[in-house]
A and B are shown apart, each in its own frame.
Chain A
Amino acid sequence: MDRIPNISGYTLVICEKADASKRIASALSDKFKTYTSNGTQIYVVEKDKKKYIICSALGHLYGLGTSRKKRDVFPIFDLMWFPLSQIDKDKKIVWNRIQTISSLSNRASAFVNACDYDTEGSIIGRNIIKYSCNADISKVLRARFSTLTKEELSEAFENLKVGIDDGFARAGITRHIIDYMWGINLSRILISALQHSASSGGSISTGRVQGPTLKFIVDREIEIRSFVTRPYWTAKALVDSSKETFYAEYSIDRITKGKEGHRIKNENEGREGIVEQLKKTEVKLIPPTPFNTGDLQKEAFRLFGFSPSLTLSIAERLYLNALISYPRTNSQKLPPSINYLKIMNGLGRLEEYKKEVKALLSTRLKPREGDKDDSAHPSIYPTGEIPVGGFDARQIKLYDLIVRRFFSVFGEKAIKERMQLSINVQNKHHWEVNGLRTIYAGWTFFYGKYVNMEEHDLPLLQEGERVLIKSVEIAEKFDKRPPRFNRGSLLEKMEEENLGTKATRAEIIETLYKRGYIVGDSIAPTNLGFQITLTLSKYSKEIVSVDLTKEMERKLEQIEVGKETPENVLEDTFYLTLHSISELVDNMEKVGEELKIALKETFFEKNILGKCPKCKVGNLIIIRSKRTGKRFVGCTNYKNGCRASSPLPQRGIIQNIGKACVMCGWPIIIVRGGRIPWKLCINVDCPSKKG
């Protein structure tokens, strides 16, 4: 371990992550010195005769907790900030970091919070400076920046402002407190209810945003499970002209009677039709708005299948490499102060964007912006810095998407032409042929492969030309049941309903998976998720109320801008929590009974992988060995002599997808835990695994 330099009277700069602290050090001076203390990288810099020591946190070092540890004790309203190492045994490293920062603070004469400039960053820095450094937070300076480029960081340090206990921090702390208060009390009451019903155990929890989010999924599932389809018919004709054969659609796209379909076939097949009219309509497509967090997450899901949380983590890496601006933002604005020209020139140095930059630089650079704004950051944009070093395929994809979206917002409207031909058969039936083509590419030139629009030309026909309806195909169709949410559409729904924040939505969705309340990419609730929602809706509507959560979000936003006080919001939450608790306490036994059944069903749902292919009587079930602690699969018919068994991967969440291996008939599972889910046949002797 290197010794911390024996200097004093310096400014201690607290960053959120190690990469950011190094960038800040090099922005202040090229001649920074690096030290390591207790596993923490420390940078010492001198600029304009002022000394700085720059160190980083590990995200949050403090979390809310209570001294009342027993899991069935409630209500809990005495909350305190504790070092995370005291709350979570997996976070022991946090204590070393707190000690290092604490010892660095002893000889510091000033403090700068240089954590990410948003709610969470404000809380991280505030708590460290308050609890690790014991400093007077009213005198602490705040660095404000949206990118980690040298230029912007230097500017941020030239314009440091006093005061870190601002609207951001106040709103953020209030959010943490109400989430904790809500979550711990309701989760503890659910656990107590289970104990009340003499259940053998099980863990169950809910949260302020988690409950209503799960309710969206459950409500959709109820719609799906009680859906009754309706039949309809469509007609398509194969048409012969003198030049080509093509398909035409019947003018009524939904024929509601089967008999009508047959009539259309009989009255058209083999008949002659006349090309009647060619209708052309020009459609102008306006450029997209710049990316905010939600828009980027939805687009990355649509194009690459990235989950919202994966997108955010890749974007975070790009930000820490100073390639893009801060990715947690609501804003759809691109202010001129970001210097469009400088960014374009920077990107123009990359071969793949030369053509686009050249085209844009010949125009007046004025972006299309959306309505959404963010008081801390503009929308997500590329900084124009050249990527240096190795980037994986996913980082390259996301970076390219962000760059092309940035270009697109400066593009002009695209002009498309919709063309429609009509074929008249005996003045009784009409068939249509549609076409779409680009007249002027505009912004779509810049967005390129990410544009979601298929083009197709019309057949070469003249008005008045006679054509032959060669055959008519009548298809019986059924209304599709409502689609399940996927990670992208669920995120969109949360955004629409103002549930959670840009920084927390993706995490909440992942929490629902981790707690076993939802499964699958096409998201379905598990029995447990379903039952928790139904039980909570039945006995305390507020817990899963979307309106209530929305209202709370609105109040938190008002704290941010100084229109509401944390005290008022906390008081409201206090009474609301008490009310919900009393409703649940009144029905403790019923709540416990319902949850107990759900837990039991979930156990089987999670652990039974399918019928045993060996004895064809028992089920293959996941078992954990008492001797070795390892998990494996065995047959429930073991007592009657079936010895079917196979080892299982020891890490990750096992998901039963209800499919059997085509080679051996054993169940196929998906193992989630690493970056990419892993699909495999559980039979260790499966022929597919030989050779």
Chain B
Amino acid sequence: MSIENNTCAICSKEKVLNGQFCEHHNIAYHKIEGNYGYWKEAYEELSWEAYLKLTIDNPENGVWVKEVAKYLITKKSEDLNV
């Protein structure tokens, strides 16, 4: 039997139902996802990873957005290593 971790993958807050993040990081995650299409069109060739890196570096982006982007990059590289 496994114990399910009920906290956000980034902070210690409770995560939302059927999600991996808390309420605020979840909002940020959906905004990152929702804006990818716009960025891809703007730069033509833009991979998801490159987009996440640009998201982290852009000073206009919110702190939760950057935390989620960092997490997604780290998770991706961990997944690849596994």
Contact = CB atoms under 8 A, between A and B. Distances in A.
Interface in A191-249: 222, 224-232
B40 to A, nearest CB: 11
B22 to A, nearest CB: 11
B60 A225 contact: no
Interface in B13-60: 24, 27-28, 31-32, 34-35, 38-39, 41-44, 55, 58, 60
A259 B65 CA distance: 27
17 contacts: A222-B24, A222-B27, A224-B62, A227-B60, A228-B28, A228-B32, A228-B34, A228-B61, A228-B65, A229-B61, A230-B38, A231-B42, A232-B42, A256-B42, A259-B44, A478-B58, A479-B60
Interface of A: 222, 224-232, 256-259, 478-481
A231 B24 CA distance: 23
A44 to B, nearest CB: 65
A230 B39 contact: yes
Contacts of A227: 31, 60-62, 65
B67 to A, nearest CB: 9
A481 B60 contact: yes
B42 A226 contact: no
A259 B38 CA distance: 14
B60 A480 contact: yes
A258 B27 CA distance: 28
B44 A225 contact: no
Given A257-B41, A258-B42, A226 B65 contact: yes
Interface of B: 24, 27-28, 31-32, 34-35, 38-39, 41-44, 55, 58, 60-65
The 3 A-B pairs at the shortest CB distance, nearest first, are namely A229-B60, A225-B62, A227-B62
Nearest to B34: A228
Contacts of B61: 227-229, 481
Nearest to B44: A259
B49 to A, nearest CB: 16
Contacts of B44: 257-259
Contacts of B38: 230
Nearest to A259: B44
A226 B58 contact: no
A257 B58 contact: no
B20 to A, nearest CB: 16
Given A222-B24, A222-B27, A228 B42 contact: no
Nearest to A222: B24
Contacts of A228: 28, 31-32, 34-35, 55, 61-62, 65
A230 B42 contact: yes
Contacts of A224: 62
Nearest to B66: A225
Given A258-B43, A478-B60, A481-B60, 4 more contacts: A222-B24, A226-B64, A230-B35, A481-B61
Contacts of A256: 41-42
Nearest to B29: A226
B42 to A, nearest CB: 5
A165 B3 CA distance: 67
Most buried by B among A227, A256, A479: A227
B27 A226 contact: yes
A532 B3 CA distance: 31
Nearest to B55: A228
Nearest to B67: A225
A369 B17 CA distance: 55
Contacts of B35: 228, 230
Contacts of B63: 225
A552 B55 CA distance: 44
B70 to A, nearest CB: 14
Most buried by A among B32, B42, B65: B42
Contacts of A229: 58, 60-61
Contacts of A225: 24, 28, 62-65
A484 to B, nearest CB: 12
Contacts of B65: 225-228
A226 B62 contact: yes
B61 to A, nearest CB: 6
A258 B64 CA distance: 27
A290 B40 CA distance: 51
Contacts of B62: 224-228, 481
Contacts of A231: 39, 42-43
A478 B35 CA distance: 13
Most buried by A among B28, B41, B62: B62
Nearest to A597: B12
Contacts of B60: 227, 229, 478-481
A519 to B, nearest CB: 16
Contacts of A232: 42
Contacts of A230: 35, 38-39, 42
A258 to B, nearest CB: 6
Contacts of A226: 24, 27-28, 31, 62, 64-65
A227 B32 CA distance: 9
A525 to B, nearest CB: 13
Contacts of B32: 228
Contacts of A259: 44
Most buried by B among A224, A225, A256: A225
A529 to B, nearest CB: 15
B54 to A, nearest CB: 9
A256 B43 CA distance: 9
A256 B42 CA distance: 6
A256 B37 CA distance: 12
A259 to B, nearest CB: 6
A87 B28 CA distance: 47
A232 B27 CA distance: 23
A280 to B, nearest CB: 36
A226 B35 CA distance: 12
A593 to B, nearest CB: 11
A230 B61 CA distance: 9
A230 B34 CA distance: 11
B78 to A, nearest CB: 24
A631 to B, nearest CB: 30
A227 B60 CA distance: 8
A189 to B, nearest CB: 23
A481 B43 CA distance: 21
